[in-house]
Structure 1
């Protein structure tokens, strides 16, 4: 009998504890808090629309929810559980504002933050420099214009370096320029022809002497583009000083193949002197083996023939000349 009474007593105590917990849980769930307020600018006292309002829980600082302010600057965040919170208000160009220790419980279900004033961020600039830069490639109606001053990686090189990665231009592994896939193009200097070949003059002229390079793929009637894929017109700087340049190239291949060339150039405001040359040693060693077997009835005959020989070709050429700029419209070429 005593054991039955003890069991009944424990059961009643357990049921009471569950009932008490359920009542407390229902009491917590019943709390649905609200945080409201309004955001204004400190400078003009006007409401700030679309300001960000974020609510964090305490003490773990977890983001619970957030909203944006209405056109009148007001905000209202509802359905918050019982607990402690803090609020952060923010808008671009303004300093963040934090409202701490917002408590929601059964007694305080609506927390009014009132008017929250945001102060603008002031940045003082001492000096402002506005620098205008030209595009590397300027597209005009009848030509493309490459600005030498805008391509920094070509400084110290030749016009060939300036033309790299330019539309309509390709550079082969030997540094020769192709215009629309062809080496048959005309090179002009300040609109006038030169005595050098196209690639020679492009390799000789340093970039620091060049103002612009014009690429004309559809020349007008004032040019004579017959039989060419276009025109490359080099516009020189008008205030350049006298200069001397040298360009030396060399290559080594298999089977004793060697080649090299050089370009020397000295230019003043009136005279341009140049000397260039090229040479090569091309060796080849053909080797042939021929095996033959003849079968006639019960007999057969086998022959073997081996042939080897060596060949070499040594082409070379030199060229020197002078350009005399008599006036802006007249130039004398000697070569």
Structure 2
């Protein structure tokens, strides 16, 4: 009997314990996920449950084939639920409260909008446009543009507000003479000897956003009048995600790329690979009037050129992001980039007398083969305080790159035929390596409302440029070294920097203020025995930014900063480039840094469906470094010599107008217009005392159509002035349409570039004894087709079983 009573008591205790556990763990959350357009269910969408104050999900599941999801055995507390799916905007539902009386919550039908709707992550009602504005920065969210799919960083930059990309792929900020490209907050020119090579193969699908900083904060290097920061994707949702795509164009260009991410609770692994081929064709025409001031005569050069290039390159990236503990994080990444090119160029040089009679005709054929590669390793370790919220970050970046180029120049005369031909071989080997170390500390203050930042940095960079020029001796049938043209240039740069800044966040006013100090030590040597050791110099860079928000839809901001343009190896190297003997170029080892004071005033007005942000800017620079062309006439031969000079001072006034209009979630339009007035003052040459007006504008339109189809178009215009002339206005345009299949996993896109004609560039330049007009056109008109497939495999966290 005693045993029976014991057994009954044990059963009653077990039942009561089970009931108590079930009461504490009986919460249920359910819902259904569908597409906003078409109302089709979305299977395999990631659904994660967070406790209200947590940033980490503790339960994750996926929707079934009908879009339904369910969480069982939840504690009775407050949650938030996040739904995400590749190709759609994430959705977060907050304040999901489970109580004893209301322990089962049905969230109903949750609609995910396509990523083409210009939204970032949504919290039910929050909407953010593709372009975000601040007093000192413009952010372009790359993954919201269908033009970005299957393309490269260079293609994307052409559509970013205030950014201009020239025919060689060089990106600059409108109205700024010197722009630096950063990747994940670190300077890319320390990573490769030619940033254009990297941007041409960096896949767009690996880029999260692009930040245009017109007045960079003190944390960033003082170099350049502006910074374009390319922020790479760091990972996706929990589980295995990624995409693969291929693009091919009628011009013969191709681009294949893939990226993948595996993310667990504590770490993520990311990797990407891309390979592209490109065929380039261009023609040019240059007409130069040469004035012989001694003999008071004029003669002319009328030159025609044609060029064809074939290039291919690959980009490979890998990274690890590891939360060692809730307070410690380690991020490691590596990048490998490779490029190969083959180029054939022919030029006909026509020499005309004062009576415009043809005196001589020289034909030149240039054949070149080039290859380059660069490797970058980056590591960042961060440590957060448990209570204070402060953060210490240690970063290390190492890079090594090499660029080799072999060029053959074959010249002969068809008029008169008695003049001797020439054959020249140029071998150019460039090596670049650098080490960058940074230590940053930031700490929230005043109830974590404000932010204090400080840091130190050390950067070391070495560049080795070895040029060997040999002329062919037709008598001995061998190459002979051209001593005056061959040269080896060794460049060493060391910068020690420190900064401190404070970020105040008031109820309606925000202030960022900081100062940066940089100690620069530079030396370089020539194979001729000449050595230059520039005395170390200290530069201070104050920075302040003020924003005032009022009436929940307006803001007004003002910024001020000091920047520097340091002459580096390409501008300092006196090595002579005479591939075109009538147009010779070389560097100037006597250059000194140029300093710029720049100020902006901006105003922003934001409505539910529109935004408008006009901006006024002013900058004044001393010792401006620019290319300067002069013509020397000797015995009736006029040779143009182009080098760099500290040409004088320059004042620039500018106005920037940026607007965005979104009449519906399916339609968005944006426009930006930049007008700058430059005024040069120079003691170098009276011809440089001149004014110039530059205009840049862009218009973009995107719309989401029925049947999972989207359309986007952009048109850009640029007209630039410089110290010796201007580049005439040129127009570029592109349009794309995309169709989604297989529940948005597969997308097909067709893109038309410059449908109204190839890109044309016209340059006017003049000096005391010459006037130059140069025209060029390239095969930018193209039609490309792209296929992109997104894949995902959700990692499910098992639902804890109910107690029995």
- Using structure 1 for the length normalisation, give the TM-score: 0.51
Structure 1: which 5+ residue stretches go unaligned?
1-125, 293-303
Q: In 1, Cα distance between the equivalents of 2:354 and 2:166?
A: 42
Q: Kindly tell me: are residues 134 and 200 of structure 1, through their superposed partners in 2, closer, same or farther at Cα, counting changes over 3 Å? A: farther
Q: In 2, Cα distance between the equivalents of 1:134 and 1:220?
A: 24
Local SS of the residue matching 1:284: strand
Match 2:204 to one of 191, 204, 207: 207
Q: Kindly tell me: are residues 319 and 307 of structure 1, through their superposed partners in 2, closer, same or farther at Cα, counting changes over 3 Å? A: same
Q: Kindly tell me: are residues 193 and 130 of structure 1, through their superposed partners in 2, closer, same or farther at Cα, counting changes over 3 Å? A: same
The Cα of 1:307 is off from its aligned counterpart by 3.1
Q: In 2, Cα distance between the equivalents of 1:305 and 1:164?
A: 42
The Cα of 1:180 is off from its aligned counterpart by 1.4
Q: In 2, Cα distance between the equivalents of 1:236 and 1:291?
A: 58
Structure 2: which 5+ residue stretches go unaligned?
1-107, 114-121, 236-260, 262-269, 284-304, 320-332, 382-394, 402-804
Residue aligning to 1:191 = 185
Q: In 1, Cα distance between the equivalents of 2:161 and 2:351?
A: 47
Q: In 2, Cα distance between the equivalents of 1:289 and 1:193?
A: 48
Q: Are 2:287 and 1:221 equivalent residues in the alignment?
A: no
Residue aligning to 1:257 = 307
Higher helix share: 1
Residue aligning to 1:70 = none
The Cα of 1:138 is off from its aligned counterpart by 0.4
Residue aligning to 1:319 = 372
Residue aligning to 1:163 = 157
List aligned pairs for 1:5-154, cutoff 5 A: 127=109, 129=111, 132=122, 133-154=127-148
The Cα of 1:182 is off from its aligned counterpart by 5.9
- Using structure 2 for the length normalisation, give the TM-score: 0.23
Residue aligning to 2:173 = 179
Residues 243-269 of structure 1, C-alpha deviations (whole Å, 9 max, x = no match)? 211233322234542234333211111
Contact 2:133 / 2:139 at 8 angstroms: preserved in 1? yes
Q: Are 2:292 and 1:310 equivalent residues in the alignment?
A: no
Q: Kindly tell me: are residues 142 and 288 of structure 1, through their superposed partners in 2, closer, same or farther at Cα, counting changes over 3 Å? A: closer
Q: In 2, Cα distance between the equivalents of 1:203 and 1:181?
A: 24
The Cα of 1:272 is off from its aligned counterpart by 1.3
Q: Are 2:303 and 1:274 equivalent residues in the alignment?
A: no
Q: Are 2:259 and 1:230 equivalent residues in the alignment?
A: no
Q: In 2, Cα distance between the equivalents of 1:184 and 1:261?
A: 27
The Cα of 1:278 is off from its aligned counterpart by 3.8
Q: Are 2:400 and 1:334 equivalent residues in the alignment?
A: yes
Residue aligning to 2:349 = 286
The Cα of 1:190 is off from its aligned counterpart by 1.2
Local SS of the residue matching 2:143: helix
The Cα of 1:146 is off from its aligned counterpart by 1.0
Local SS of the residue matching 2:397: strand
Q: Kindly tell me: are residues 278 and 190 of structure 1, through their superposed partners in 2, closer, same or farther at Cα, counting changes over 3 Å? A: same
Contact 2:151 / 2:204 at 8 angstroms: preserved in 1? yes
Contact 1:185 / 1:198 at 8 angstroms: preserved in 2? no
Residues 234-293 of structure 1, C-alpha deviations (whole Å, 9 max, x = no match)? 11111243221123332223454223433321111132111124443221223457699x
Contact 1:248 / 1:260 at 8 angstroms: preserved in 2? yes
Residues 171-224 of structure 1, C-alpha deviations (whole Å, 9 max, x = no match)? 334544332166842111111123123333332221211111111111122222
Q: In 2, Cα distance between the equivalents of 1:237 and 1:313?
A: 41
Q: Kindly tell me: are residues 263 and 183 of structure 1, through their superposed partners in 2, closer, same or farther at Cα, counting changes over 3 Å? A: farther
Alignment root-mean-square deviation, CA = 3.0
Residue aligning to 1:247 = 276
Residues 29-76 of structure 1, C-alpha deviations (whole Å, 9 max, x = no match)? xxxxxxxxxxxxxxxxxxxxxxxxxxxxxxxxxxxxxxxxxxxxxxxx
Moved more, 145-154 or 254-263: 254-263
Local SS of the residue matching 1:141: coil
Local SS of the residue matching 1:309: strand
Q: Which protein has the larger Cα radius of gyration, Structure 1 or Structure 2?
A: 1
